[in-house]
């Protein structure tokens, strides 16, 4: 009787470990690596991100360092509207330091928060306040928005790839 109980407990432990490993693989982030100008699909959106230069801001928004500007072409490839926001993007330098985008109303294309209509590409820009060095490598990370159920995340090399 005790032996049957031990076998049942061991069986439950093995089954729970198998379920935990399966769930871990289902929700583990899938990094997709591309270079600037190459399209990448994250969730229901196809992104093409390119380096658009640097600038020193405007009268209202002046960076502590230098603004690194990127151009984003985003197309919703699903049949339903989906959200795009600046919180989906961040820049990583060679030291793996993360930089959040800065909204400053620099142009009418400046990304803040918006809805993407199905099959209608939009062109947006955003910038990051970083200690820019033209000899270093910079990457953009694109994460899905909260409403987009995907584990895909894009890593896009924008300079010195």
- The residues near 9 (Cβ < 8 Å, ≥ 6 apart) are none
pLDDT score of 26 more than 80:
no
3-state secondary structure the chain: CHHHHHHHHHHHHHHHHHHHHHHHHHCCCEEEEEECCCEEEECCEEEEEEEEEEECCCCCCCCCCEEEEEEEEEEECCCCCEEEEHHHEEEECCCCCEECEECCCCCCCECCEEEECECCCEEEEEEEEECCCCCCCEEEEECCCCCCCCCEEEEEEEECC
pLDDT of residue 116: 95
Predicted confidence (pLDDT) per residue in 51-92, tens digit: 999 999 888 889 999 999 999 999 999 999 999 998 999 999
User: 131 falls in which pLDDT band (50, 70, 90)?
Assistant: very high
What average pLDDT is seen over the chain? 92
User: Which domains are assigned to the chain?
Assistant: 32-159 (2.60.40.1240)
Report residue 139 as tokens: 């990457």
pLDDT score of 25 more than 80:
no
Judge contact between 86 and 103, C-beta under 8 A.
Answer: yes
pLDDT score of 136 more than 80:
yes
pLDDT score of 11 more than 80:
yes
User: 95 falls in which pLDDT band (50, 70, 90)?
Assistant: very high
């Amino acid at each position: 009787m005790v032996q049957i109980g031990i076998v049942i407990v061991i069986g439950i432990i093995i089954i729970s470990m198998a379920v935990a490993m399966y769930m871990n693989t289902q929700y583990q982030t899938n990094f997709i690596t591309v270079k600037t100008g190459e399209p990448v699909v994250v969730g229901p959106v196809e992104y093409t991100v390119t380096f658009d230069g640097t600038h020193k801001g405007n009268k209202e928004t002046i960076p502590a360092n230098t603004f690194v500007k990127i151009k984003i072409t985003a197309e919703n490839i699903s049949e339903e509207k989906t959200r795009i926001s600046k919180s989906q993007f961040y820049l990583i330098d060679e030291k793996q330091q993360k930089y959040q985008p800065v909204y400053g109303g620099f142009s009418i294309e400046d990304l803040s928060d918006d809805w993407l209509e199905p099959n209608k590409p939009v062109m947006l820009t955003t910038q990051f306040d970083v200690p820019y060095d033209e000899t270093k490598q910079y990457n953009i990370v694109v994460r899905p928005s909260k409403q987009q159920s995907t584990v895909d995340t894009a890593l896009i090399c924008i300079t010195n790839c």
